[in-house]
Structure formats: C-alpha cells, structure tokens
C-alpha cells in the first residue's frame, strides 16, 4: 500500500467528524479523507429535536460547511458521494463515481429510520427526520401548518412532540405501547411523562397503531386500528432506528444488530473499524452521543499508533422533554427489581440486583436533581 494512501472515514455525522477531530489532535500529517453521501455539513443531531425551543431552523443548526471542516481538520472531504461496495482484499472502495483506495477504513455510517408499510405510509406528508436535510424539508413543509401527528412515543417522538408544541403546533401521538418511552424506561416513570406532556397539550393515543393514511382536501387522515380517525397536516414517523450494516456486509464483515467490533472498535477485518450508531461494540448497540465520543477518542489513539480500547463509564441518557424531563441509566441486566417513589411528575426508580447493589435508575421531573449522586453509586455502563 502506497505511503500516501489515506485513512478513509465514511460518514460525516458526529461519529465521523469527532474521529477526524480527535485524530488530528494526535497526528497532523497523515492523509485523511472523509466520504459522505450527504452535503457534509457539521451539525449536532440531538439539536434537531429542539429547533423550535431554541429558535433555530436548519440553517442556524448547521455549525460548519464541509469546506470549512476540510480546512479546519486538514482533511479531504468528498460530499454527495455514496460508497456502494468495499473490496477488503484490495482495500478499494467502489463509489457511485469511481474508486478510492484506503490504508485504514472507518465506517461511521450511522443508522436509518425504521419504516413500516401500510396503505398511505409513503404519502408525501408522511416524513421521518433523522438528519439536517430531513429537518430542512420538514420545516419547509410545516410552515403555515397547524396540526401534526407523530407515530411513535419513544425518545425521538416525545422530544419532537414537546418541541413542536413549543413551536405552536397541535400534536397527537399514536403508539401501541401502554406508556411513552416504553423500552427505555419502566411504565411507572413513563406515566409521569404521559402526564407532563398531556398537561402541556399533547393528545396521546396509546395502545393504538395507524392502519391507513389517506389524503384529504385539507391534509391527511389517519385511521387507527380501532377505527378512530385523526386529521393532521403532516405525520412524523418516529418508530426507531436500525444500524446501517449493508455496506459492511459487502466487505464480508461480521454484522449482527450492528457492525460487530471489539473494544478496539476493530471489525472482523483488521484494516476496518466502525463507531457510532452503526456499530455494535462488544455486543452493545448504543445510539447516543457519549458512547460515540468515547469511541472516537479511543480509536484516534489506535490509528495514531497507540492501541487503545474504549471504556464508557456511567452514561445516563437525558430526554429533551421539558414538560417532564427524564434521566435514565438503564440496568445492565434484567436480574433484579425496580423500586419506585413517585409524586405526580416526580418519579425516582432504583433498580437493584439480588445483592441489593444499584445497577440502574430512572428519574423524572424534579427528581432529576439526584442524577449526580446516583450516577456515582452505579457500575459503569457495559464496562466489565
Ligand atoms: C432527533 C434526535 C435527537 C437525539 N437526541 C440525542 C440526545 O439528546 N442525546 C444523545 O446522546 N443522542 C441523541 N440522539 C442520537 C445521536 O444524535 C446519534 O447517536 C448520533 O448523532 C449518531 O451519529 P453517527 O455519526 O453515528 O450517525 P449519523 O449522524 O447517522 O451519520 C452517518 C453518516 O454516514 C453517511 N453514510 C451512510 N452510509 C453511507 C454510504 N454508503 N456512503 C457514504 N456515506 C454514507 C451519512 O450520509 C451520514 O453522513 C438523537 C437522535 C435524533 C434523531
């Protein structure tokens, strides 16, 4: 492999750019290239669900253009360029407009939104918002509109609901679960979020799903599985994310829930690494910012010549739902039980294992003030 063949990062999300930034702190010389199928703008994805709260549209959320990032990080950036296939034996990427050799390859290819198909699910006003471009399109569509339906009461659905409420929209959420944030927090805490968002004005349809969407003269009409109909101008689909593994599979890399890597972020091929939403690190897919930042710091050291494993420490997840804020540190295993203290919007849930040791917690409302104290008491997430 020629000396000047670059280290290539695929993906310009937080994982791709964080790695480039961390690597440049350690190595100012080695050629570095970043390839992305989008426009390469640097932005913080978590801010997409606080656009109205913070008064920022898509342009205001963009932190730097691809050209500025290239200059700042002495990086060659190729935008609007899809990597279609990897040949690991010759270390070649097949792009939609040619080929590119790599010395080391890093997959920072993220996750895609889940889609379910039913009559009307692909109508124009049914959208999902998972990047800055989606957000730009959504803001254009939402201008002058009044009522938005949200499919999915998970973290992303609830955050968009709260933000759009602040933006002056009428909101209805539809979800088959008995309480919001199902799967992330226990229902005892989910009920506080239900109360907080409902009191603020969100209408929930829990235990229900949409079976059909039709266009009407004024917008869209969703029919629920109990026959009830809901009118809205737009429908946001927020039913979860799935790590992108297709490209990795073209290289024959081991994939399960995500691209499988060890604690060094190395895939089943020694010249290819993965981090961020697309990676399954030591068996865990973690679709959050803190794990990818820890991964970027560790991988930058490895690429700069100091083999390093990632360690996470305690990383509670905070929701951006001011109507009822939540902080959760999910338990490491199911072995143990929850104990709750609750008072309306304020819930404190502690998960203790059979030895009585704290292995997870959930806090809502005013109880979030106890985060620091509890975070000190529990074992680091997924650190064995
Ligand atoms: C609304 C919302 C709110 C969130 N809030 C929080 C929060 O409060 N806290 C938190 O910790 N996390 C939050 N998250 C999650 C967090 O934003 C993600 O974990 C993180 O942004 C993922 O970054 P990434 O770089 O791994 O993936 P992405 O940002 O998805 O980047 C993937 C990149 O890969 C490129 N790409 C993919 N395939 C190819 C290909 N074949 N060829 C070329 N380019 C390719 C894409 O164009 C893109 O540039 C939120 C997510 C959303 C959607």
CA of 292 relative to ligand 1 center, distance in Å: 10
| Residue at 1 is within a domain | no
Domain total in the chain: 3
What integer pLDDT is reported at residue 83 of this predicted model? Answer: 98
CA of 277 relative to ligand 1 center, distance in Å: 6
Q: Report the alpha-carbon distance of residue 288 to residue 162 in Å, rounded.
A: 20
Asked if 39 and 88 sit in the same domain, the reply is yes
Phi-psi category of 305—alpha, beta or left, where left has phi over 0 and alpha has psi -120 to 50? left
Asked if 128 and 230 sit in the same domain, the reply is yes
Q: Report the alpha-carbon distance of residue 213 to residue 119 in Å, rounded.
A: 6
- Domain carrying residue 204: 115-237
| Residue at 384 is within a domain | no
Which has the closest alpha carbon to 222: 172, 180, 179? 172
Q: 3-class DSSP state for residue 236? A: strand
What integer pLDDT is reported at residue 355 of this predicted model? Answer: 86
| Residue at 267 is within a domain | yes
Q: Is the dihedral of CA 317, 47, 9, 111 positive or negative?
A: positive
351: domain CATH number?
3.30.390.120
Q: What's the DSSP call for residue 5? A: P
Q: Report the alpha-carbon distance of residue 327 to residue 318 in Å, rounded.
A: 4
pTM attached to this predicted model:
0.95
| Residue at 66 is within a domain | yes
Domain termination residue (choose one: 219, 237, 255): 237
Domain termination residue (choose one: 271, 303, 335): 303
89: domain CATH number?
3.50.50.60
What integer pLDDT is reported at residue 354 of this predicted model? Answer: 87
Asked if 171 and 221 sit in the same domain, the reply is yes
What integer pLDDT is reported at residue 54 of this predicted model? Answer: 96
Residue 100 Cβ inside 6 Å of ligand 1? The answer reads no
Residue 276 Cβ inside 6 Å of ligand 1? The answer reads yes
Asked if 60 and 205 sit in the same domain, the reply is no
Q: Where are the alpha helices (DSSP H) in the chain?
A: 14-26, 58-61, 66-72, 132-142, 155-166, 187-200, 246-250, 289-303, 371-377
Residues near 331 by beta carbon (within 8 Å), at least 6 away in sequence: 351, 359, 360
Which has the closest alpha carbon to 180: 32, 35, 323? 323
Locus of tokens 């989910």: 190
Q: 3-class DSSP state for residue 42? A: strand
Angle in degrees, CA 47, 51, 53, rounded to 5: 110
Query: In the chain, how long is the greatest CA-to-CA distance?
Result: 65
Distance between first and last Cα of the chain: 37
Q: Report the alpha-carbon distance of residue 129 to residue 178 in Å, rounded.
A: 24
Counting ligand 1 atoms within 8 A of each CB, the residue from 13, 128, 159 with the most, and so the one to mutate, is: 13
Asked if 89 and 108 sit in the same domain, the reply is yes
Q: Please give the average pLDDT of every successive group of 10 residues along the chain, which has 384 residues.
A: 83 98 97 98 98 96 97 98 98 96 98 96 96 97 97 98 98 98 95 98 98 96 98 97 98 98 98 98 94 97 98 90 96 89 96 90 97 84 50
What pairs with residue 243 in β-bridges? 111
Find out whether 313 and 383 touch, Cβ atoms under 8 Å.
yes
CA of 373 relative to ligand 1 center, distance in Å: 30
> In the chain, count of helices (H) and strands (E)?
9, 27
What integer pLDDT is reported at residue 383 of this predicted model? Answer: 55
Asked if 260 and 201 sit in the same domain, the reply is no
Which has the closest alpha carbon to 213: 352, 319, 72, 119? 119
| Residue at 383 is within a domain | no
Asked if 192 and 259 sit in the same domain, the reply is no
Asked if 172 and 87 sit in the same domain, the reply is no
| Residue at 84 is within a domain | yes
Asked if 279 and 334 sit in the same domain, the reply is no
| Residue at 95 is within a domain | yes
| Residue at 359 is within a domain | yes
CA of 12 relative to ligand 1 center, distance in Å: 9
Radius of gyration, alpha carbons of the chain: 22
Domain termination residue (choose one: 214, 237, 260): 237
Q: 3-class DSSP state for residue 288? A: coil
Asked if 254 and 218 sit in the same domain, the reply is no
Atom number, ligand 1, closest to the C-alpha of residue 320: 8
Q: 3-class DSSP state for residue 52? A: coil
Asked if 260 and 182 sit in the same domain, the reply is no
Residue 130 Cβ inside 6 Å of ligand 1? The answer reads yes
Asked if 56 and 91 sit in the same domain, the reply is yes
Tokens coding 274 = 């993965």
Residue 9 Cβ inside 6 Å of ligand 1? The answer reads no
């Amino acid at each position: 492999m020629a000396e000047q063949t670059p280290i290539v990062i695929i993906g310009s999300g937080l994982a791709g750019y964080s790695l480039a930034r961390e690597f440049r702190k350690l190595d100012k010389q080695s050629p570095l290239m970043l390839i992305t199928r989008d426009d390469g703008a640097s932005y913080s994805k978590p801010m997409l669900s606080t656009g109205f709260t913070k008064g920022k549209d898509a342009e205001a959320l963009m932190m730097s253009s691809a050209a500025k990032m290239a200059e700042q990080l002495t990086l060659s950036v190729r935008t609007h360029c899809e990597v279609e296939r990897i040949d690991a034996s010759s270390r070649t990427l097949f792009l939609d407009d040619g080929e590119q050799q790599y010395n080391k390859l890093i997959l920072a290819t993220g996750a895609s939104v889940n889609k379910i198909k039913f009559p009307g699910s692909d109508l124009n006003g049914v959208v999902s918002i998972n990047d800055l471009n989606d957000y730009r399109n959504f803001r254009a569509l939402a201008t002058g509109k009044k009522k938005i339906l949200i499919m999915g009461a998970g973290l992303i659905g609830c955050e968009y609901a709260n933000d759009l409420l602040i933006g002056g929209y009428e909101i209805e959420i539809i979800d088959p679960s008995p309480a919001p944030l199902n799967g992330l927090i226990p229902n005892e805490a989910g009920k506080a979020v239900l109360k907080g968002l409902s009191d603020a004005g969100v209408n929930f349809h829990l235990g229900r799903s949409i079976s059909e969407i039709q266009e009407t003269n004024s917008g869209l009409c969703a029919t629920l599985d109990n026959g009830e109909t809901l009118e809205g101008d737009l429908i946001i689909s927020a039913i979860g994310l799935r790590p992108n593994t297709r490209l990795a599979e073209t290289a024959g890399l081991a994939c399960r829930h995500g691209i499988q890597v060890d604690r060094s972020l190395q895939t089943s091929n020694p010249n290819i690494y993965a981090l961020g939403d697309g990676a399954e690190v030591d068996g865990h897919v973690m679709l959050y910012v803190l794990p990818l930042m820890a991964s970027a710091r560790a991988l930058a050291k490895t690429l700069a010549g100091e083999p390093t494993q990632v360690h996470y420490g305690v990383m509670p997840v905070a929701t951006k739902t001011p109507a009822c804020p939540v902080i959760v540190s999910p338990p490491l295993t199911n072995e143990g039980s929850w104990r709750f203290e609750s008072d309306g919007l304020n819930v404190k849930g502690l998960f203790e294992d059979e030895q009585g040791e704290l292995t997870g917690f959930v806090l809502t409302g005013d109880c979030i003030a106890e985060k620091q104290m509890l975070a000190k008491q529990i074992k680091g997430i997924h650190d064995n």
